Structure formats: structure tokens, C-alpha cells
A and B are shown apart, each in its own frame.
Chain A
Amino acid sequence: MDVNYYVYLGYIKVTLANQFDVVYRDIDTVRGKITLIFIEDLIDGTRISNYIIRPLQGIGDNLNNGEDIRRTILKSTETATITTPDSGITNILAGNVIILFEFIPEVLSCDVKKFSKRPVQDAKIDVAAQGPQEAFNEVLLDNICLLRRRIKNPNLKLERFIIGRSSQTTVVVIYMEGVTPPELVSYIRKKISAMDIDFILDVSYIGEQFKEGYTFFDTLSGSERPDTVASRLFEGRVAVLVDGTPFVLTAPTFFMEFFQAADDYYLNKYVVGFTRMIRVGSLFVSLMLPGLYVAIATNHLNLLPTTIAFTIAMSRATVPFPMIAEVLLMLMFFELTQKAGKRLPAQIGQSLSIVSALILGQSAINAGLTSDSTVVIMGIYAITSFINPQVSSASSMWSVFVIILSAISGMHGFFVGLIVMAAHLTSLKSCGYPYIFPIGTATTFSSTDFFLRSDLGSISSMLIKKGGKS
């Protein structure tokens, strides 16, 4: 399509009006004017001077089309011919430079992007004592690079999608061809393609599309660690990367993954087995302990040893609230402290600890607002819920449910609560796979990396394909 220099330039100026960082750089040559349009913050000034402006200043009479200029003049790695004014705008906003010629009816774009970014740093959430330390950052290409360094295989496929009507965000779906079930890839491809959304800023926008049913549990999660994502790709899962997010989704997600940690694969397998048991046990403790405490200390006093009954009764003597209110109040205080701790800068985290320990702990007891025994129970609850951070939010919600049922009906309510939760968990699915896999699908699955970790050579191999769907 022939481009009229003045019409095109006018259109861009109108469209990008009131944007101070858009630069219109004119170059006068012997043949006429050339205008470069770019956003100052998104380009590399040195590269634009050396690889675009300087060569263009010396443009001769022999070059009469864009293709020749791209091949012989421009020294940028990636160049393209732009056809419509709107794609020109998109290129400018994406950090490319577009070039308008007064004497050639074509528009070219060059990639000389450079923007401030966080370097590849240590993992902050999924920390491992041993093994690789690096984590994803916000730059999509960096993240892909981290994965490619680990999987040098031509079967590693990367499919790109542009999602978000306004944000035009790049989303990349990665999988291992031949390992990942094709129906899983097409399911994810279909879901992402069907997304009709104005903008996406994080991978959670994608994750929410895959949520099935109403649940507090994350039916799709991921990792900030390239080694973890790479191992999941080898297992036959699909990774979803979103530009601007240092977190990569892996699908499907199984409940048991929340008890696996990155350094499980870098430590002695027997130690790992023991620690996983502790993690699973911790979930049960955090789910059950407050409910059990309320059930026994309010409905089944006869189940308490007499000396403990005396101790609890003495410690609660001055507490003005019923035990159910006291426990829920302490649970709320704990959640508040936890949420405040996440939001606070590290420098004042210590102050929060002091406030929590002194005010919520000892002072609340002395003031008669809570009892020693409840503080001990909630302390154990807090510690055990910290052990599995990925399920702590969901487990605290279910804890409240179990506490309320326990207060109403004692042990009866307690067990009803647990049964309801178990039924709920078994009903969940992640990308069509049972969420509590391999539990319930044991006929086709040999458990090599769930409760216990087998030898590294025998795990992480086509898990999804071998496991099958129930």
C-alpha cells in the first residue's frame, strides 16, 4: 500500500497527541526528509543513532523501495514493512521505531527496544537452600531464555497470543510436543484464544479463566522458578507466560503439589519424604486443630484430661467472650497480622512482630481478652499454616467453617466439616484433570513423586500422560 508521508504523519500526530515522550525526529537527506517516530523511554538511544540515523543520513539515489533500505541501510536486527497507520501506532507503543520517507511511499519499523528491567534475581517465594537460585523476572524474553537454557529440545514449542483489547499483552504457551497430551494443549489454546478482556496485567488474569467451580483453593498455580517450570514441562504439563509477570502458570495443577518444594529435588529423598509428611500433617493440623479445640472444650468436656480441663478453665476464667468468639477473634487477629506483614516494608516488619507478640499475645491475656490456651492453639495454627503458604488462605477459610460447625455440634460438626471439605476437594478439576490426582486415580498411576519422592531418574517423566484422567 502506498503511503503518503504527510497524511500518515498527520494521523500519527493526532492519534498520539498529548503524549510528551513521543519523539518525532526529522533527518534531512539529499533526497528529502525522513521522520523517525518512537517513544523515548522504550528505545536504546545509542542503537538508534548508530544503526538507524547515521546510515539513513547517507542514503543514496539508488535506493527506491523499503525492502532495499531494510537490506542495505538499516543495521537493526529486526525490521519490517508496515502497512496500515494503526499497526504503525501499535509498533510505536510496543517500543519500535517507525520510519517515514518523504520520497518513498512505504513505512518501516525497527526493533531497538531498551527499557529498564529487573535483572534475573534470586527466588523470593519459592526459596531453595540448594539447587538453582534464579527466578523469573518481568521480561517475557528473559523468562523464555531461562527455560530454553534448561530445555534444549526442538520439541519445545512456544505459541504466542496477543491478549487484551487495550493492553495488547503477549502471552506465550509453552509445551513439549510428544510429551504433553494434545487435548490439553488445545484446551488451553482454546481458552486463551477465547479470552475477551480489555487488558491483562498479570498471569492471574489467565489463571482465572481456568477456574472451575467456586473454591478457595487455587486450581491453577505456577512457580517463579525456571527449574520447577522446566520439570513440569518434562512431566507433560503446559506453561503459560505473560509479559510483565515474573510468575509462570503450569497446567494442570494438582493439590499435592502444594506440599512439594523446590529443594525437594536437591536433597536426600528420605529427608524429603519426611518433610513432605510434615507438610501434609501441618495442613491437617492447621485445618483441624482450632475446630477440634472448640469442639472438645465446649461440647465434649469429658474428652479432656482433667488437669488440662482445669488449666483451660482457669486460663479462660476472665475471658468475657464465648470460646467460639474468642477463637474466631484470634484467627482474625492472626490473619490481620499476616496480611499486614505482607504489605509492610521489611524495615518495619520487626515493629509489627513486636506489636503482634506483645499486644496480641501477652497483653491480650493479661487484659483478660483471651486465654493462654487459645493463644497456644492459635500459635500452633499459625506455625502450621506458614509451612504451606500456597494453601494457607484456603485452609484458613475452611478452618473457620470447621470451627463454626464444631461449636454448633461438637465433634459431630467437626467431622461433618471435614467430610464436606474432602467432598469439595474431590469434586474439583484442573484443566479437566482431577484436582486431588493421584488420589482416586491410582489404578493407572504409579506414585513416584507425591507423598514420597522416588529416585530422581524415575520421576518427572510423562506424568500426565501416564497418569491419565479419571
Chain B
Amino acid sequence: MIAKKNLIVLLIAAMCSTGCSSVYQDINKALLVTAMIVDVGENGEPTIYFEAFRPERTTGKDRKEDRVIYVVSGKTVAEVITTLNTMGSNKPNFSHNKIVIFSRKAAEAGLEKYTDLFARDQEHLLRSNVAVYDGKPDELLDAKLSGDRFLGLHFFDLFRNYNDKSAKLIEVKVQNLFNGRYEFGGISVLPMLTMTPSQHGEKVVTVNGAAVLRDFKLVAVLSADEVKDYSIFQNTTPNTIYTIENPASPGSYVSLRSVNRKIKTKVDYDGTSIVLTKQIKGNVSFWEAQDNISLTPEQREQLKVALIAQIERNLGNFFEKYKAQSVDVFNLEEMFRRKYPQEKLDNPLDKAVLKLDIEVNIEGSGNYTGFN
């Protein structure tokens, strides 16, 4: 009898401990927000563009998904969302929000004021993508997306499907944004969206480069090629494409794709300088060769030397450029502070030198054993 009573008490307690997130809401009564574009007004107040899904109340075959856009301003993001509640017939639900896009204007003004709710409110997902958009939000919302009606779903698929296939594209979630913000250096690198004219004259939205935020404020913009170098520094994308001159045919190029690349990063401090060592080992495979190529041992050695030289040059330039700007996109300060917590250097990046140790083996794209 006591066991039964205990069980009943336990079940009632369990039923009462469900938390705020578990509240009955019929799915068709929810306004499913799929994307948010955060812009700032003249006085710094947030203006948020909401892209949302609301089902149409029609029966039969005429039923279709209804994309609705709301533009709301307010003193705070919370106030904006409260206002949104009064605009739609359905209650907003952010559990399907795929991307939070900050306008470049907002990034330049600093995101500190506009991001707190995304981390604090339990309904907002930490797994939503984050990006910075260089342009007017209206244009982005009107952009033609290949086969998609929803901006949020388009970018969700884009980042999910191509993230590990292209080194020029990085994927950042809300959680990564906050991680970067609270690490030493306070650097977050977000993908940059731009509108570019297509061959048909229409403007299409593309991921082009990356925005570098320090303490949530835009401090630099990486070009698409620099994102490739950034990916090697962060070791995020295994597939990097290298294009170098064809040794057998001057004026034409060879494209090589990295395979099984392994990068080891080490930070050492000898009292005068901080050595950032990047040990890059791996194979590269032939992807394309313009004109003929005759892979004699000499030419393979030539290719290898040229490839290593190119990687060293690119990474070296990238390192020096952002070291000069004191923008720690290498995550150096975080690594340094963790390894040498007792050192009180003000700006470790100033004392940093890059040391590269690159080993590359060139392999064929087809007959692997016959190639060697």
C-alpha cells in the first residue's frame, strides 16, 4: 500500500514537472517562424523581418502552404516578438526557425543588444543557423530561391548539404556565435550572404565570404578565398580545392582536392614569441587538369612543391594580414590562455609567429595502386 502511494505521488510529481516548454498547442494554430532577419532602425532600435509558415484554411486539392512575412520594430527583441503576437492570428512558434540573419548594418552597430533573447528564451533554438547579410532585408525576402519558397528552409538545406563539401562555406549556429563571443578574443566568424546578379539578370542570394565579429561587432570581412584559409586554420572543412599551374602546360591549371587531411595545431611560448604551429598532413587527389598532364616523378614533385608553396603563401598572407589588424580569427588567444594561464600578456597575437609543417602526397583520382 505504501509502495502504491509512493508510486502515485511520484507520478503526480512527474506530471507536474514538465516545464514551461511543454504546453499544448495545436500545430495548425501555430505560426511557424522559419527565418528572422534582424536589422536596426535609425535610432538603433531592432526591426525584425519574420518569415513564417501558416496553413491556409481551405480543403481539398487547393490546400497550399502559406508564406507570410511580418516586419516589426520595437525597443527590444522581446518587444518585437510581443508585437508579433498581436499581428498574426496564430501564435508565433520559433521551434522551426532555421536561420537568424543579421543585417550588415546591425552587425556594424553591434549585436550585443539583439542577441540575448536567442540564448535566454527557451523557445528559440540554439541550433538555428546564423549569418550576416550585406544588403536590404526586403531584397533578401524577395529573392528567388532555387525551388524553395522559404528562405529558412533554403539556407538550412544549403548549409547542411554543402558545408563539408566546400571550404568556401562555413556553417555557424547560434550556439557557436555565443561560444565565440565568450572565448578569449571574442571573435565570431559568420557566413556572409550577398545578392549577386545571375546570368539571367535576376539577383540570386549566395553565401559569399564571411563576416568577422569581435565582441559582436563587425570588424572585418573575409573574401571567399580567405574563408578557405580560415577553414584550414579552424580545420572545419576536409574538402579544400587547390588550383595550381599545370607544370606540363604553362598557362593552364590543375585542380587538386584534399583527401584525408589531418591538421594538428600547437601553441608554444618561449618568453619572447608565441609559435603557432600548423602541421598539415594528407593526400590530394586529381580533380581536373586543363590540357594534358604527364605525371612523371619529376612533374609530381614539381606539383607537390608548387602546392606546398601555395598553401604556405596563402596561409602566411592570411595570418599576417589579420595579425596586423589584431583580429584573432586563428583562435590563438584562446589556445594560448588555456595552455599558459599564468602568462599575463595583453595581446598574445602581437607576439605570434606562424610555423607551417606541410606534408602532401599526390594521388590519382582513379587507379590508386597503379598510379604509384
Contact = CB atoms under 8 A, between A and B. Distances in A.
Interface stretch (B56-64, B171-179, B275-283): B56-64
Contacts of A423: 7
Interface residues of B, number: 34
Contact of B57 (A310, A317, A323, A324): A317
Interface in B1-46: 7, 11, 14-15, 17-18, 21-28, 30, 32, 34
Contact of B63 (A317, A367, A407, A413): A317
Given A408-B15, A410-B18, A416-B11, A366 B28 contact: no
Interface residues of A, number: 38
Contacts, number: 100
Nearest to A365: B59
A409 interface: yes
Residue with the greatest number of chain A CB neighbours at <10 A, chosen from B21, B24, B59, B60: B24
13 contacts: A298-B25, A298-B26, A299-B24, A300-B22, A301-B27, A302-B95, A309-B27, A310-B65, A313-B27, A313-B28, A315-B63, A316-B28, A366-B60
Nearest to A299: B22
A298 B24 contact: yes
A410 B59 contact: no
Interface in A92-132: none
Contacts of B21: 300
Nearest to A322: B26
Contacts of B64: 314
Interface of A: 297-302, 304, 306-307, 309-310, 312-319, 322-324, 365-368, 405, 407-413, 416, 419-420, 423
A317 B28 contact: yes
B100 to A, nearest CB: 15
B78 to A, nearest CB: 20
Interface in B176-222: none
Residue with the greatest number of chain A CB neighbours at <10 A, chosen from B23, B34, B96, B153: B96
Contacts of A365: 59
Given A306-B98, A309-B96, A323-B27, A318 B58 contact: yes
Contact of A323 (B26, B93, B95): B26
A293 to B, nearest CB: 11
A319 B29 CA distance: 11
Nearest to B16: A409
Residue with the greatest number of chain A CB neighbours at <10 A, chosen from B11, B64, B93: B11
A314 B65 CA distance: 7
B55 A314 contact: yes
Contacts of A420: 11
B55 A412 contact: no
Contacts of A300: 21-22
A412 B25 CA distance: 15
A365 B60 CA distance: 8
A408 to B, nearest CB: 7
A227 B15 CA distance: 48
Given A310-B53, A366-B60, A412 B27 contact: no
A175 B153 CA distance: 67
Mostly helix, strand, loop or mixed at chain A's interface? helix
Interface in B48-82: 53, 55-60, 63-65
A325 to B, nearest CB: 10
B150 to A, nearest CB: 9
Contact of A301 (B14, B93, B98): B93
Contacts of A314: 28, 55-56, 63-65
Contacts of A302: 95-96, 125
A316 B26 contact: yes
Given A309-B27, A309-B32, A412-B14, A318 B57 contact: yes
B24 A407 contact: yes
B96 A306 contact: yes
B211 to A, nearest CB: 26
B27 A298 contact: yes
B22 to A, nearest CB: 4
A319 B11 CA distance: 33
Contact of B56 (A297, A301, A317, A323): A317
Contacts of B125: 302
Contacts of A410: 18, 22, 24
B55 A316 contact: yes
A398 B218 CA distance: 57
B275 to A, nearest CB: 45
Contacts of A319: 28
B18 A313 contact: no
Residue with the greatest number of chain B CB neighbours at <10 A, chosen from A298, A307, A312, A405: A298
Given A299-B25, A367-B59, 10 more contacts: A301-B30, A302-B95, A309-B27, A310-B65, A313-B30, A314-B56, A317-B55, A318-B59, A366-B59, A412-B15
A315 B15 CA distance: 30
Contacts of A413: 15, 18
Contacts of A309: 27, 32, 96
A408 B7 CA distance: 19
A316 B27 CA distance: 8
B224 to A, nearest CB: 28
Given A298-B24, A299-B25, A368 B30 contact: no
Given A316-B27, A413-B15, A301 B22 contact: no
Contacts of B11: 416, 419-420
A430 to B, nearest CB: 21
Contacts of B27: 297-298, 301, 304, 309, 312-313, 316, 323
A295 to B, nearest CB: 9
A315 B28 CA distance: 8
Nearest to A368: B59
Contact of B53 (A313, A318, A412): A313
Closest 9 CB pairs of A and B: A302-B95, A317-B55, A316-B28, A410-B22, A314-B55, A313-B55, A412-B18, A409-B18, A299-B22
Interface string B85-98: 00000000101101
B22 A412 contact: yes
B231 to A, nearest CB: 27
